[in-house]
């Protein structure tokens, strides 16, 4: 089973968090210092934060996107301090699924979430997160032991279901997962107790639009200004930017912004060609500045197929770190093409950042397709692209 297959590597990689083979390891934690806070000392003692691991190539701290297959394509995961831009597929089906995987991964790892949307209430989005993939046997074992049981007891109980010992213990408290990247069952919902135990902040634009601005009007639209202020507030108040070094346990802030650039945010670049052409790009720039100076990672989904002015798309791509495009086959002529019948769409890795390096991890495979089976979202290499489509 796929989940077990990666267990070994997962445990292996966390075991090697402290003893990573690369010679740059000693400096990797110091590298994080200037980026995340002014004082190196607080970060040179940086112990591994739950749900992160240093990249094999450059010691960059990575978090999982919620899809282990996508993590692999991106060189191990999403680097902390960067933006992952998902270009939405036409009907926003698979991109919202990726969005939910990202948030679900945050809950499992105990990260703090910041969910921003102009379309759905963040509380509703969280209710619909997919459940982590666990076997039913394991769930029964888990239900028997409440979270107050000591780990020693739970170890004993697992003698028969020993494979699942490596899976993270599902506790209602802060979850310290021993794995990097989990699989999710898209047909089931995340257990309510996990959602309630997690720490999250929601930004639902229709609710916040009425409050007043305390920043000078610049060319950003109202929604973007409020969102930036909200994000900056959370980062500052909860100390993600290292401004409060006495905080007990460092954590990652996962920011998810849905449908950025759509008219629901008050931006008109999807409606007209001569819309406010700088609002979105300015927003992205300041957002990236915020991310680079804090322990956070951001996933944005954007309906780029709706943006009328193509120049904006290329500017947005240049201003983001990682860009992944989704193209679903629904409604296109490829849906009935027998060569594509196993897949639901194509996934294009448009840009991967070169962080702290001249080179970057780029996979040789350029034709990738995805499919959503009953439980799993898988990405596979396809050489169907050569068939003259």
Partner 1 sequence: DQLLNRPRSLSGPSGKLTLLCDANTDGSFLVHHFLSFYLKANCKVCFVALIQSFSHYNIVGQKLGVSLTVARECGQLVFLEGLKSSVDVFFRAQAEPHPLQFLREANAENLQPLYEFVREALKPVDDGEAAWRCPVLLVDDLSVLLSLGMGAVAVLDFIHYCRATVCWERKGNIVALVHDSGDTEDEENNILLNGLSHQSHLILRAEGLATGFCRDVHGQLRILWRTPSQPTTQRDQSLTYQYKIQDKSVSFFAKGMSPAVL
For position 44 contacting partner 1 by CB under 8 A, the verdict is no
For position 366 contacting partner 1 by CB under 8 A, the verdict is yes
For residue 253, how many C-alpha atoms fall within 13 Å in the half-sphere facing its CB?
A: 29
Taking CB under 8 A as the binding criterion, the range among 64-72, 110-118, 121-129, 280-288 that sits at the site for partner 1 is 280-288
Contacts of 357 (CB under 8 A, 6+ apart): 57, 58
- Tokens 């991964």 — which residue? 105
77-96 binders of partner 1 (CB under 8 A): 81
For residue 313, how many C-alpha atoms fall within 13 Å in the half-sphere facing its CB?
A: 20
Exposure letters 335-361 (e unless 16+ CB within 10 A, then b): eeeeebeebbbbbebebbbebeeeeeb
Taking CB under 8 A as the binding criterion, the range among 108-116, 170-178, 307-315, 339-347 that sits at the site for partner 1 is 307-315
Looking at the chain, list the stretches that DSSP marks H as alpha helix, in order from N- to C-terminal side: 2-15, 25-36, 41-44, 68-73, 94-109, 122-127, 136-144, 151-157, 192-197, 205-208, 222-237, 279-292, 310-319
For position 285 contacting partner 1 by CB under 8 A, the verdict is yes
The residue among 278 and 375 lying less far from partner 1, judged by its C-beta, is 278
For position 387 contacting partner 1 by CB under 8 A, the verdict is no
Candidate list 129, 313, 323, 346; residue touching partner 1; CB under 8 A: 313
Q: Measured from the CB of residue 235, what is the shortest distance to partner 1 in angstroms? A: 10
For position 19 contacting partner 1 by CB under 8 A, the verdict is no
Candidate list 136, 143, 333, 364; residue touching partner 1; CB under 8 A: 364
For position 34 contacting partner 1 by CB under 8 A, the verdict is yes
Site string for partner 1, 52-71 (x = CB under 8 A): ------x-------------
For position 37 contacting partner 1 by CB under 8 A, the verdict is no
Site string for partner 1, 206-225 (x = CB under 8 A): ---------xxxxx------
| Cα–Cα–Cα angle for 386, 388, 389, rounded to 5 degrees | 100
- Tokens 């930004």 — which residue? 203
d(CA 62, CA 81): 9
Both tokens of residue 263?
């008219």
Question: Which stretches of the chain bind partner 1, using CB under 8 A?
Answer: 31, 34-35, 58, 81, 215-219, 228-229, 232, 278, 281-282, 285-286, 288-290, 292-293, 310-311, 313-315, 318-319, 354-359, 362, 364, 366
């Amino acid at each position: 089973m796929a989940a077990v297959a990666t267990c070994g590597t997962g445990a292996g990689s966390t075991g090697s968090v402290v003893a990573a083979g690369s010679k740059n390891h000693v400096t990797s934690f110091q590298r994080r210092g200037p980026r995340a806070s002014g004082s190196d000392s607080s970060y040179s003692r940086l112990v591994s934060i739950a749900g992160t691991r240093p990249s094999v190539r450059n010691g960059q701290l990575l978090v999982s996107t919620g899809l282990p297959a996508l993590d692999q394509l991106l060189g191990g995961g999403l680097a902390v301090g960067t933006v992952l831009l998902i270009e939405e597929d036409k009907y926003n089906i698979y991109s919202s699924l990726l969005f939910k995987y990202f948030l679900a991964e945050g809950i499992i790892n105990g990260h703090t979430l910041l969910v921003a949307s102009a379309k759905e209430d963040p509380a509703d989005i969280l209710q619909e997160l997919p459940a982590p993939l666990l076997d039913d046997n394991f769930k029964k074992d888990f239900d028997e032991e409440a979270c107050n049981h000591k780990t020693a007891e739970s170890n004993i109980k697992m003698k028969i279901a020993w494979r699942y010992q490596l899976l993270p213990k599902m506790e209602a408290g802060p979850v310290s997962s021993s794995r990097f990247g989990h699989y999710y069952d898209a047909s089931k919902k995340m257990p309510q107790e996990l959602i309630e135990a997690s720490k999250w902040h929601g930004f639902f634009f229709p609710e916040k639009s009425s409050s007043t601005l305390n920043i000078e009007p610049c060319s950003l639209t109202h929604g973007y200004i409020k969102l930036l202020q909200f994000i900056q507030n959370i980062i500052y108040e909860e100390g993600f930017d290292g401004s409060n070094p006495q905080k007990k346990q460092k954590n990652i802030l996962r920011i998810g912004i849905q449908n950025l650039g759509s008219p629901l945010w008050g931006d008109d670049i999807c409606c007209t060609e001569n819309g406010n052409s700088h609002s979105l790009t300015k927003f992205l720039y300041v957002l990236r500045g915020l991310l680079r100076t804090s322990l956070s990672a951001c996933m944005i989904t954007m309906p780029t197929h709706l943006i009328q002015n193509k120049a904006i798309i290329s500017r947005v791509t240049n201003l983001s770190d990682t860009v992944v495009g989704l193209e679903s086959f629904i409604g296109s002529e490829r849906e009935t093409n027998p060569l594509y019948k196993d897949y639901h769409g194509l996934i294009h890795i448009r840009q991967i950042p070169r962080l702290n390096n001249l080179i970057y991890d780029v996979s040789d495979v350029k034709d990738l397709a995805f499919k959503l089976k009953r439980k799993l979202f898988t990405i596979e290499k396809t050489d169907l692209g050569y068939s003259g489509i």
